[in-house]
Amino acid sequence: MKRNTHGTERHAADGGPVDVQMAEPAFASYAAPLVDEAIEQAAAVREDASPEALHKLRVSLRRLRSLWWAFSPLLEKGENTRQRALYKYLASAAGKTRDWDILIELITREDESAPEMRAKLEEVRGGALATSRETLSNADVKHLLRDALTSATKELNTAHERVPLRKFADKRVAASERSLKKRMKRASHAKRANYAAFHDVRKAGKKLRYLLEFFGPVLQGGHKRTLKRLKQIQKRFGKLNDIVASEMLLRDNASLLAGAGDTGGAQDWLAKERKRRMRSAAGLLRKG
């Protein structure tokens, strides 16, 4: 059996040696902890109204979506697409409240003397939270995620063919890397007003980072530099996304925020900040 440079066996997520571990049965060892985590966090949101609780739930659901994408070549296409759409829907439900949290944080940081606006934003945020909780409760997250895990695990465990986990992981990470490079190239040539191109880079980078975190122990070669680069992208492009999402919230909810202080001034500041952060994001792309 092959050993690493330290003389110890390298193991896959479920504890099996990477040289004999197959991708299909390994799926559950990756998915089950994520499902448990998402269920626990969805339950916590019912009691905990903090921004952190919603953020953790949204991240867990995004990680699940990325994992299902990683295993999509081994899963029935239609069902896999439905499951990934479900995770996106649930993450969006949590994200609607999270976006208000970000806006409140930005406005407070920019102008601490705007208590009237903050109070109104907090009020609207409370309504968004009630909607998020209702959506998640009606969706019955626990049973939805358990059923998805059971269905995918059964399909993979009864598959006639087996793919070595290391080979499979290397291939899926490579596909994700190609997707990110393609989107980075497109964004580097895009006009500054084309935020969608920058947003695509952020999503592709996040997916690749999750895959590297999932499969890290079984991949060939090191990926520390790549992970460091992805964290830079996520941080800088995430700040840009916060501004753009906040601009949209103010614009789309103008009637709700009528009389809540100088919303026009807030919009002007956000527009200037968006341009500054777009330049910063573009600068990171130019570094290659």
Q: Based on the fold, state whether residues 108 and 193 are members of the same structural domain.
A: no
As a whole-number percent, the residues of the chain with pLDDT over 90 amount to: 60
Contact yes or no for 221/170 (Cβ under 8 A): no
Q: Which residues, listed in sequence order, are joined to residue 11 by a DSSP beta bridge?
A: 17
Q: Based on the fold, state whether residues 190 and 269 are members of the same structural domain.
A: yes
**Cα 95 from Cα 56, distance rounded (Å):** 10
Q: Write down the mean pLDDT value for the chain.
A: 87
Residue 270 falls inside a structural domain: yes
pLDDT mean over 233-240 = 93
- 125: Cβ contacts below 8 Å, ≥ 6 apart: 97, 100, 101, 104
Q: Is the pLDDT of residue 2 over 50?
A: no
Provide the pLDDT for residue 16: 42
Q: Based on the fold, state whether residues 171 and 231 are members of the same structural domain.
A: yes
| Sequence letter at residue 90 | L
Residue 7 falls inside a structural domain: no
Q: What is the 3-state secondary structure (H, E, C) of 127-184?
A: HHHHHHHHHHHHHCHHHHHHHHHHHHHHHHHCCCCCCEHHHHHHHHHHHHHHHHHHHH
- CB-based burial label for 25 (10 Å; 0-12, 13-18, 19+): middle
**Cα 207 from Cα 240, distance rounded (Å):** 18
Q: Based on the fold, state whether residues 146 and 37 are members of the same structural domain.
A: yes
Residue 86 falls inside a structural domain: yes
Domain that holds residue 41: 21-162
Provide the pLDDT for residue 119: 85
Provide the pLDDT for residue 113: 53
The pTM score is: 0.86
| pLDDT tens column, 116-151 | 788 888 888 999 999 999 998 888 999 999 999 999
3-state helix, strand, coil in the chain (%, to 5): 75, 0, 20
Termini Cα distance of the chain: 39
Q: Is the pLDDT of residue 267 over 80?
A: yes
Residue 204 falls inside a structural domain: yes
pLDDT mean over 183-205 = 91
Q: Based on the fold, state whether residues 103 and 226 are members of the same structural domain.
A: no
Total number of domains constituting the chain: 2
Q: Based on the fold, state whether residues 177 and 158 are members of the same structural domain.
A: no
Q: Domain end: 117, 135, 162, which one?
A: 162
- Here the CATH number for the domain that contains residue 76 is 1.20.120
pLDDT mean over 182-202 = 90
Contact yes or no for 247/274 (Cβ under 8 A): yes
Does residue 6 sit in helix, strand or coil? coil
Contact yes or no for 253/124 (Cβ under 8 A): yes
Residue 11 falls inside a structural domain: no
Residue 12 falls inside a structural domain: no
Provide the pLDDT for residue 246: 93
CA-wise closest residue to 97 among 130, 139, 141? 130
Q: Based on the fold, state whether residues 61 and 152 are members of the same structural domain.
A: yes
Q: Is the pLDDT of residue 10 over 70?
A: no
